[in-house]
Amino acid sequence: MSESTPHSDLPDLKAGIPAAALGDREPLLGQVDGEPVLLVRRGDAIHAVGATCTHYGANLADGILVDETVRCPLHHACFDLETGEATRAPALAPLPRFGVERRQDRLFVTGRLQSRVLGKAAPLTGLRARPDRVVILGAGAAGTAAALTLRQEGYDGQVTLIGEESEAPYDRPNLSKDYLAGTAGEEWLPLCPRETYQSLDIRVCLGTRAARLELEARTVWVADGQAFPYDALLIATGASPLRPPIPGLDRPHVHMLRSVADCRALVAGAERARSVVVIGAGFIGLEAAAALRTRGLTVHVVAPGRRPLEQVLGAELGVALQRLHETRGVAFHMGHNAVEIDQHAVRLDDGSAIDAELVLVATGVAPNTALAGRAGLILNRGIQVDRYLETSVRGVFAAGDVARWPDARSGVPVRFEHWATAERQGQTVARNMLGALEPFEAVPFFWTQHYDVRVNYVGHASSWDRLQVQSGLPEGQWEQRYFVGDTLVAVATIGRDRASLDAELALESAVATDVPARSALRPSRFIVPETR
């Protein structure tokens, strides 16, 4: 059923339905007082939860059931059918729950149940002492998810979330998509209302820069001299944009795009400009190109590769995305480098120049590891962590863009700059701080948006032996599979949300059955670092 189905056309679950109409593991979409509700039978248990994903509002009836959960078709969030809790990001808020009664041969959904109060659940028990004080460095995806999950899991100790930006935690992917395009307002940005942190007794220190870590003393010192003692620490300091050595990079009409402040400055520039040059044809560069084209600017993209995103998605999908942008009026200058930015143009390595009143430099990011390195943590093109996301020092964890961890399948250290992965790592760290000893094995997932086309990607393929593009699909759909040998390692799709969910589940099952890779609880945890 599509998301556009009017709620009034759905079965009225409050008025009751025949019990026989609800098959086992066959979700039924209905409504209660105009609110869409998903009714699910699991054996003798019957659950009723809200049918709208709390992340971006997708219809969960279009998702899939996995064990005792439902997964969202849009961005693969996961919810517990019994409790409504968001158990897997990018959704962080729970679904509403509804009461269900059986009267003879009919089922009635009786109305909303009271939400469980976060922080009051039965606490986890594990192999380590529960910390009295948790400090989280970084108020982005991983840090915020960790703070919320601590309370969700029943932790009642001190939680301090320290963020260098002055903004409350926000949805960073939106900065290069709808918010930049002007199709989503400021209200879309916060990860949760400010009152949530207050109600959960999470201390949020914004505009606060961590200056020094004293690992033996278990203390974080910030720039104004304040000390934050901790019993467990999460480093989720994210990444910063790379600044290529291009003359003119510091001119006022040249922008980076990482923070909400960056985005606001870019939007202000776009409102005064008619043309923009985007340097870089990665995900941020292309998403921003689409957003700025939506605003009506003339857009040029400059990048050294042969095709956009070829190394990540493959040549065919890269070409398809380039053609999509070209049909919307974007001009590409592939195989070229920008060598100078002057007041009115960007000069390329072939001597040509492109008029530009606005320039966006989107040439990648580097993890913020300096603080961890100075403290003595092991670095390896990121902060090296084990499969529990713990660093070389007990009680100190790392997650998100800054963390490099052993891949669940290969054991090879990997680091991803994926929003959903960062949030899921934050959730895992929170449980491990409380003693869960939960290995991080989530299959990587990201999405990228270009106009009305969304690419979903599950798995990880830094390289591949074979790329299989499915033929005969309806117009507007795409599916391709990446193989190393005969092993499926990743799947990219357009317009095939169910296929993307099924692929994620298949990749998860492959990891779960790989017993040798998961047999040791805590072997020698670290590979020799390549850099310090």
Residue 122 predicted with pLDDT over 80: no
* CA atoms in the 13 A half-sphere facing the CB of 149: 29
Instruction: Give the chain's radius of gyration (CA, Å).
Output: 24
pLDDT digits (tens, 9 = 90+) for 93-116: 999 999 999 999 999 999 899 876
DSSP run (H or E) holding 45: strand 45-50
Starting at the edge strand found earlier in the chain, the sheet holding 86-88 runs 64-66, 69-71, 78-80, 86-88
pLDDT attached to residue 384? 98
pTM of the model: 0.91
In 166-231, beta strands by DSSP E: 202-205, 210-214, 219-222, 227-229
Query: For residues 476 and 493, is the Cβ–Cβ distance under 8 A?
Result: no
Question: Do the strands 478-484 and 466-469 form a parallel or antiparallel pair, or are they unpaired?
Answer: antiparallel
The CATH homologous superfamily of the domain defined by 7-112 = Rieske [2Fe-2S] iron-sulphur domain (2.102.10.10)
Residue 367 predicted with pLDDT over 90: yes
* Range with the poorest average pLDDT among 4-18, 256-270, 426-440: 4-18
Starting at the edge strand found earlier in the chain, the sheet holding 275-279 runs 254-255, 358-361, 275-279, 298-303, 331-334
Across 232-240, average pLDDT: 98
Across 246-270, average pLDDT: 97
pLDDT attached to residue 532? 28
DSSP run (H or E) holding 370: helix 370-375
Q: So where are the chain's domains?
A: 7-112, 133-240+366-433, 254-362, 452-518
Burial bucket for residue 430 (CB in 10 Å: 0-12, 13-18, 19+):
buried
Assign 411 a pLDDT band (cuts: 50, 70, 90).
confident
CATH number 1.10.510.10 is the correct assignment for the domain at 133-240+366-433: no
Residue 430 predicted with pLDDT over 60: yes
Query: For residues 286 and 310, is the Cβ–Cβ distance under 8 A?
Result: no
Residue 511 predicted with pLDDT over 80: no
Length of the chain: 532
pLDDT attached to residue 124? 52
Query: Cα 192 from chain centroid?
Result: 15
Question: Do the strands 338-341 and 239-241 form a parallel or antiparallel pair, or are they unpaired?
Answer: unpaired
Residue 44 predicted with pLDDT over 90: no
Residue type, 311: Q
**Residue with structure tokens 């990018």?**
90
Please calculate the CA angle 129-135-136 and round it to the nearest 5 degrees: 120
b (16+ CB within 10 A) / e for 444-478: bbbbbbbeebbbbbbbbbeebeebeeeeeeeeeeb
In 400-465, beta strands by DSSP E: 403-406, 413-414, 445-450, 453-459
Query: For residues 481 and 461, is the Cβ–Cβ distance under 8 A?
Result: no
Across 191-209, average pLDDT: 96
Residue 187 predicted with pLDDT over 50: yes
Could you give phi then psi for residue 196, rounded to 5 degrees?
A: -60, -45
Across 375-395, average pLDDT: 97
pLDDT attached to residue 521? 30
**Percentage of residues in the chain with pLDDT exceeding 70?**
92
Helices (H), 30-181: 141-152, 178-181
pLDDT digits (tens, 9 = 90+) for 24-39: 999 999 999 999 999 9
Query: For residues 386 and 525, is the Cβ–Cβ distance under 8 A?
Result: yes
Across 51-70, average pLDDT: 96
Same topology for domains 7-112 and 254-362, yes or no? no
3-state secondary structure of 437: coil
CATH number belonging to domain 254-362:
3.50.50.60
pLDDT attached to residue 8? 65
Residue 516 predicted with pLDDT over 50: no
Residue 529 predicted with pLDDT over 60: no
Helix, strand, coil tally for the chain in percent (to 5): 25, 30, 45
CATH topology for 452-518 is Enolase-like; domain 1 (3.30.390)
Average pLDDT, rounded, for the chain? 91
Residue 151 predicted with pLDDT over 80: yes
* Among 138, 150, 285, residue whose Cα is nearest residue 231: 150
In whole angstroms, what is the distance from residue 454 CA to residue 324 CA?
Answer: 12
Could you give phi then psi for residue 365, rounded to 5 degrees?
A: -135, 165
Question: Do the strands 78-80 and 86-88 form a parallel or antiparallel pair, or are they unpaired?
Answer: antiparallel
Assign 444 a pLDDT band (cuts: 50, 70, 90).
very high
Residue 387 predicted with pLDDT over 50: yes
Query: For residues 22 and 39, is the Cβ–Cβ distance under 8 A?
Result: yes
In whole angstroms, what is the distance from residue 91 CA to residue 94 CA?
Answer: 8
* Among 142, 151, 206, 215, residue whose Cα is nearest residue 172: 142
